[in-house]
Amino acid sequence: MWKSLLVVVVSAPLSVAVGLAFWVAQSWRAGLIACFGTFAVCLVAATLLAFFTRRLTLVDVFLPVIFSVVWSLVLMPFSLGADLFTAPAAIGSGMLLTWCLWRVYHEGGPNASADRKWLIFPILVYVYEMLPINIPGAFDDYFALSGDLACVLLYQLVASHRGQFSHADGVNLNLK
């Protein structure tokens, strides 16, 4: 967990330094792209470090929402007229990922490693929504968030009825 926080703390000065270096070497546009690119890579690295943490803490659970809000505030001035980024979609995907992490955090017993496989799709949608690339129109955001919400709801349903499904192995399931 502390590694993830360290990456977040170091990401701002590192991204500014890389942005200034590219600005001096190339142009201000290259510096701006390098700054945001470095910041995005640091946020993705911090999220992945939080995902691969063996034991989740409450800070790990709420990091996706914090990252998405910070990233939305950083990109807000640059996406007002250009439609480069959809902040509600990024924050919504962070909330859904936090909901899944909350469930894994509270279950944390012997099935904790099995429950992490449910995090793959919410993490992919979260990383996709955090990218400063937007397909024109809102279809991609609605499509990604509705699929993510369906996955999260399915995970919540299966996790809440785990005792009822534990005897079915999928091969000998009577579907009549």
Mean pLDDT of residues grouped by 10 in the chain (176 residues)?
A: 73 88 90 87 79 76 86 77 74 87 73 67 80 70 81 79 57 50
Residue 67: exposure state from Cβ atoms within 10 A (0-12, 13-18, ≥19): buried
Shared domain check, 69 and 34 = no
Q: How far is CA 29 from the centre of its chain?
A: 27
pLDDT at 36: 85
pLDDT at 162: 66
The residue assigned the tokens 């001096």 is 24
Shared domain check, 151 and 105 = yes
Taking the whole predicted model, whether its pTM rises above 0.85 is answered as no
Shared domain check, 72 and 2 = no
Shared domain check, 151 and 95 = yes
What's the domain range around 45? Answer: 1-53
| 18, 34 contact by CB (below 8 A) | yes
- CA atoms of 38 and 35, how far apart (whole Å): 5
Shared domain check, 59 and 39 = no
Shared domain check, 49 and 59 = no
Q: Which two tokens stand for residue 92?
A: 């919504």
| 129, 99 contact by CB (below 8 A) | no
pLDDT at 84: 66
